[in-house]
Structure 1
Amino acid sequence: MKTFRRAFTLVELTFVIMIFGIVAAISAEVYAKIYENYLVSRVMNTLQTKTELALEQISNKLQYRIKSATIATKPDLSTYIPAADPALNEGYRILEWIGYDELGLKGGYDATLGYFRPAWSGLIDVDSSTESVLSTPGSDLTLENSIIAALSNSRSNISDAAIIFPETDGEFDISKFGWYSTNSDYVYDVLPNGAQAFTITDPVKPEKIYERYMLAWSAYAIAPDPIGCVYDCTLSFYWNYQPWKGEQFLSAPNVMKSTLIEHVTTFKFKQDGDVMRIKLCVRGQIVDKNVSVCKEKVVF
């Protein structure tokens, strides 16, 4: 007796093949979407990390700024206003400021004395000072000279430094800080006169001598690169130039430059009183898609 086994008919096989095809197509689309989301997530995470690091670098420098000496500059490098000016708009894409030397203020360990001492104390003995020679007890200007040389890769020294009296904030005039001008009535070039005194070398002497001062040896700038770039720019950081000597960051002979972040679409800033607000947007690309990340930071 013969036994017959039932097989798939052609119609059944056709339906099975069709079902497998549909499942395969759906699965491929799902897998493709999952992979695309992974790529987007990876790029977004990378952009967020880079943006956060760039903002952290900027804020670390800005916290030592002399707030009344902070300006916003247009790419023509001839138009500038205070960073706190209500007229500040998107046309001002360059941020510049004079920063006091925080490392010199922290100083170093003095083995003879057995404690840390500042390279510049920030204090002036008014009674023993004149308009030309300022006594700064507790300072070690020889150490300050070494600090400036180290920070500038031996391109500057204490002869490039200047002092600024904080009390002049109430007489705010950005041109008197030396910005794009030869007039720097608030900033005075100095040379060391021993380890604890300055000689003011400016032809214009201070009308008043105050008990507190800040020592600065450099101005700083954050600008798009190239300078006229509006979208998808490299953001560069400049230092080691002295506006009180008539120098600008693009033309100063000893200026130093480093890249902060690339593919920047937005860099905005605004100073409100003592607070600086910064917004930074960076873009990335995945095949034919653009993604972007924006972050903001407040610096006191």
Structure 2
Amino acid sequence: MAPTERYASQRVTNILGKSRLGIIAGTGPLPRQIAERFDPTGKSIFFIALEGITDPKTVFNFDHRWVKLGQLQIAIAALLEAKVDKVVMAGPVKRPALSSLKLDKRASKMLWRGGTKIFGDDGLLSLLINEIEKDGLKVIGIDQILSDLLTEPDLNIGPHIDNVAQRDIDRAIEILVKLGPADVGQSVAIQEGLVLAVEAIEGTDNMIDRAGQYRRDALGPILVKISKPGQERRADMPTIGPKTVRLAISNGFRGLALEEGGTLLLERDEVRKIAEGANFFIVSIKIPGAQ
């Protein structure tokens, strides 16, 4: 085990103690990576897998329960029955239309009490966390377990940024900070001062594809990704991995700027290899007033 992984394992032991960790699994590799990294035996891991969303490979060989999105009471009861006391939410889940869900009584009451909060991602996620914690469960952030994957100050992979890139990054930060209170956007694609795309419901990867359609024949665009002010990081932690970096490169982007301490950078060795091979920069940025 590498020194950083050994330290991370010791740290997660301090956080979790002898408790059992419940993982509510969305899409992508992150949920299983969390489980395998710290307890490949599965003895202290229990998954809630979402029908039609979670890849069955994610929960293979781990104790788990399949539930439909909207079956809140069944999910919470399964966590309690499995003697889970700490819960982490990992992996993206595309937000469906509420009218398309078959909500159980508990989920329906939660949404009714939430009022207008249900229309924003942060408000809805905060409601969900509060509901889960009513039964004595404690929801923790991925960053509390995988703190070594957070972007550190002065991160610089690939070439150093030039003045044009710095101006683009500064402008993107200004835009995202203003949009954040409206619960809009974690990312902006910008090229020589021109905003090509702002992330909306489609997610970062689809936004990159969209921005690529408007890229001009000039210095490539830059993707800037930060947390929204007051973002519920326990359920919505900005995350970047090899797939997103490859996608940005294939769409002609020349760099990526990530909030320091506010973004998980997965599979860093692979990310570094991809970026350096394409002369693509990845830097960390400090956000004024960030947590």
Same fold (TM over 0.5): no
TM range (shorter): under 0.3
User: Highest Rg: 1 or 2?
Assistant: 1
Length-normalised TM-score, structure 2? 0.25
Structure with a larger share of its residues in helix: 2
- Higher strand fraction: Structure 1 or Structure 2? 1
Give TM-score scaled by structure 1 length: 0.24
